[in-house]
Amino acid sequence: MFKARVKMEVLRELVDVVSTLVTETKLQVSVDGIEVKAVDPSHVAMLVLNLKKTGFEEFTGDSTEIGIDVEKIKDVLRLSKPGDLLNLAYDGGKGKLEVSVGKIVRHMGVVDPAGITDPKVPNVNPPGKVVLKTDELRQGIRGSESISDHVTLTLDPEFFSMHSEGENDRLDLKIPKSELTLLEAKETVKSMYPLDFFSSMVKSISSAEEVTIFVGNEYPLKLEFSFAGGRGDARFLLAPRVEED
C-alpha cells in the first residue's frame, strides 16, 4: 500500500534524475519513504535515491514494490504547473498506480517489478572528495560538450579541475581550494569519465546548489546531492574510462 501527496517540483526532480539512466524503474516503498535503485543498460552508471516520508506533504506506505514507466509520470507532470500538489495511490490489487493533479486523475498501468533487475551496487570509496557549486560544474560540462565525449576530473590538495580534450581544442575548468566549499585530497587523483552520462547526471539536478564528488585514480566516480529541501538524497556512480596503451 502506498498513498502520498507530493510537490510537483520534488516529483519532477526525482523523475528527471531517474530518467538519466532508465525508462522503467522499481519504486521500493517502505514505512519511512521510498527508494530507487537503477543501473543503465550498459552497466556504466548507477543511481541510488532515497526520499524520506517527510519529503512528501502526506505519506502512508508499507513495504511494496511498484514497477514504473518513467515516461508516464512525465506525461502527468506536463499537465501540472509549479506549486501544484500531486496525489499518488497504489494498493497493489488492481495493478494500477493512480496519479492525480487538480481535477485530473490518471490510472496508469504498472510494470511487473520482477522484470526489472535489482542492481548490485558496488561499494566504492574513492579517496578524494570535493564539494562545489552545481552551477560551476554545469558550466564546465556545457563547455566540454562541443570538444570531446569524455572529461577528466582531477582532485589535487590545492584545487579541483575538469578538462576535456579534442583533436584541436581543449577546455579547462579549474577552481582553487579557497573557492570550494570543501576539498579533501591527500595527493593528486584523476580519472576520465564518459561525458554523456556525466553531463545528463549533472543536468538532472535542479534544486541542489552544491554537489559532492568523490574521485580516485582510474576509479568509479561518486556524485552525491540532496533534493526536496534535504529530505531526499541521491548518489550516482559512474565507471571510468582508462587511457589506451
Partner 1 sequence: MCLRCRSARLLCGKPVCPLLLRFQGATRTFPYLSGRGWDGSTPPGVFVGRFGYPYVNVGPLLAPQHGDTLLYDTPERWVGRPLQEIVGFRTSLLRGTYPVKVTDAERANPIVEEIQMVSLSSESSEGEAKFRKAPQLRLELSDDTPPYGPTAPLEALHLDVRRVDPRLERSAGDIHATARIVVEELYGQKVPVSRIQRALSAGVLGRRGHRRFVPTRWSITAVDDLLGKANLERIRMLPELSEWWLYTLEALGNRWFVLFLPGSWRYESIEAWYPGTLWNPEGANVLMLGDHEGFRGRTQYAGMGGCYYAGRLAITEKLLDLNRQSGALILREIHPGEVLPLGVWNVREHVRTALGGHPQRLSSWEEVLQRISRFFSIPMRRWLLQSTLLREWKSQRRLDQYL
Among 95, 113, 127, 194, binds partner 1 (CB under 8 A): 194
Which residue lies nearer to partner 1 by CB, 2 or 236? 236
Torsion from C-alpha of 42, 47, 223, 146, nearest 10 degrees: 40
Q: How far is CA 240 from the centre of its chain?
A: 17
Mark 32-71 with x for binding to partner 1 (rule: CB under 8 A) and - for no binding.
-------xxxxxxxx-------------------------
Q: 155 is written with which cell numbers?
A: 582532485
Mark 204-233 with x for binding to partner 1 (rule: CB under 8 A) and - for no binding.
---------------xx-------------
Q: Which of 188, 189, 183, 190 is nearest to 210 (CA)?
A: 183
Residue 5: burial class (beta carbons within 10 Å; 0-12, 13-18, 19+): middle
Q: How far apart are CA 52 and CA 210, in angstroms?
A: 20
Which residue lies nearer to partner 1 by CB, 39 or 88? 39
Which residue lies nearer to partner 1 by CB, 10 or 237? 237
Work out whether 239 is an interface residue with partner 1 (CB under 8 A): yes
Work out whether 111 is an interface residue with partner 1 (CB under 8 A): no
> Which residues lie near partner 1 (CB under 8 A)?
39-46, 120, 122, 124, 149, 192, 194, 196, 219-220, 237, 239-244
